[in-house]
Amino acid sequence: MEAYYEAETSASTFGENVATVATYKLNLREPIVNMIEVELPTSARAQYREMERELFTMIAGNEVEAMSAAAKSQKCLQMANGAVYLEDGKTWVECHTEKLDALEELAAETGDDPLLVAYQFKSDLARLRKRFPDALVLAETDGMAAAMRGEGKIWLGHPQSMGHGVDGLQHHCNTIVFFAQDWNLEQHDQVLERVGPMRQLQAGKDRPVFVHYIVARNTIDELVMARRASKRSVQDLLLQYLKGRT
């Protein structure tokens, strides 16, 4: 539970840490962060623990094996999301639907407001599209165009493809959902930049930004959250230094 406590503590201060030099100068409103915790079902928990200990498990009659510690990390991230890839690297098998259920509940609670949902693996995208058949995929030209017009409820985007050049989403969206967790802080922040406080100000919107993290309890998700926060702390020291010099 120590890793979870660190992640929860880090997440609770995330809104304070997300500021950039520009937000210091303009005193922008900070994001409102919400941790959505899900509990793995008994069978999925047993499979996850076996992967952690043995680098091997069986899911629906399929062998799932990790050949190294790095591969185990990826397998555990996939299993936390709900589906894991088999040996060929293309075929995947579903372990649970807890994160999908949590996202569906959040979507119902937030009315017609669009949700910018960040995923990591192709298996995530496939499962999200199956659960939400009307979702817009931002990597597709038609999907991005529709989002720019403010259409749709669920907008699916991969952090790696949401860097510079993706602009205009902030006019219709102020809510981000991280369906999956990943070690890459830069890509994580790229998602935040798409509809974050600075973007809202540029669009003339006086409204808060909501950031939801769907996290599987007692899994590598919590470690990733804590690790990203520790990386950010170094950046924050520099930003604080720059703030003092302005």
Residue-number span of the structural domain to which 164 is assigned: 2-39+97-245
C-alpha span between 13 and 16 (Å, rounded): 5
Phi, psi of 36 (to 5 degrees): -105, 105
Question: What CATH number corresponds to the domain at position 185?
Answer: 3.40.50.300
Among 94, 111, 130, where does a domain finish? 94
Parallel/antiparallel/unpaired status of strands 83-85 and 62-65 = unpaired
Predicted pLDDT at 3:
35
Same-domain pairing of 161 and 235: yes
What global pTM score does this model have?
A: 0.84
Question: What is the structure's pLDDT at 239?
Answer: 66
Residues 13, 121 share a domain = yes
Can you give the pLDDT at residue 166?
82
Residues 177 and 234 placed together within one structural domain of the fold: yes
- Torsion 118-124-128-134 (CA) sign: positive
- Residue 245's pLDDT is 54
104 and 89, same structural domain? no
Instruction: Give me the residues of the chain with pLDDT under 70, please.
Output: 1-28, 164-165, 234-235, 237-246
Which burial class, exposed, middle or buried, applies to 13 when counting CB atoms under 10 A from its CB (0-12, 13-18, 19+)? middle
Number of independent structural domains in the chain: 2
- Mark whether 207 and 152 lie in a shared domain: yes
User: What are the E-state strand segments in 43-195?
Assistant: 56-59, 62-65, 83-85, 92-94, 115-118, 136-137, 154-157, 175-178
* Residues 167, 82 share a domain: no
Same domain membership, residue 9 and residue 108: yes
End position of a domain, from candidates 79, 94, 109: 94
Cα–Cα distances in angstroms (integers) from residue 197 to residues 36, 193, 227, in the given order: 21, 8, 24
Residues 184 and 65 in one domain: no
Pick from 81, 84, 79, 78: nearest CA to 100: 81
pLDDT tens-digit map of 150-191: 999 999 999 999 876 688 999 999 999 999 999 999 999 999
Residues 19 and 135 in one domain: yes
Residues with Cβ < 8 Å from 172, sequence gap 6 or more?
114, 147, 148, 149, 150
pLDDT in tens, 187-213: 999 999 999 999 999 999 999 999 999
